[in-house]
Amino acid sequence: MKRKEYSDWVKSALPEGCVARERSGKYYVCKQTSHRVNGMRYPVPTDVYCGVISKENGYMPKGNILVGYSDVADYEFGMSCTILTGYLPSLTLFS
């Protein structure tokens, strides 16, 4: 089986001991290992997802995604908006 040749920018960002799999223009980074299973003739390969490689950002490990406050929409549900605007004058917030 012929080994896949990566682009220069993929080679430079690829962590050691990992392989990149291309799907729909994105490169997904996996740590490839194998383990023995009783009754099987050959070791069973296992891949562990590690992150993504992009041309703009390089290697991005999996984890939390940071989002700015301007990108988040905040919605209020329930009676709190009505109470805070003073629509119900009989209810008082602070006594």
Mean pLDDT by 10 residues, the chain (95 residues): 74 86 87 91 90 86 71 65 60 55
What local confidence, expressed as pLDDT, does residue 2 receive?
A: 58
What local confidence, expressed as pLDDT, does residue 76 receive?
A: 63
What predicted TM-score, i.e. pTM, was given to this entire model?
A: 0.55
What local confidence, expressed as pLDDT, does residue 38 receive?
A: 93
Are 34 and 44 in contact by the 8 Å Cβ rule? The answer is: yes
What local confidence, expressed as pLDDT, does residue 24 receive?
A: 82
d(CA 10, CA 25): 12
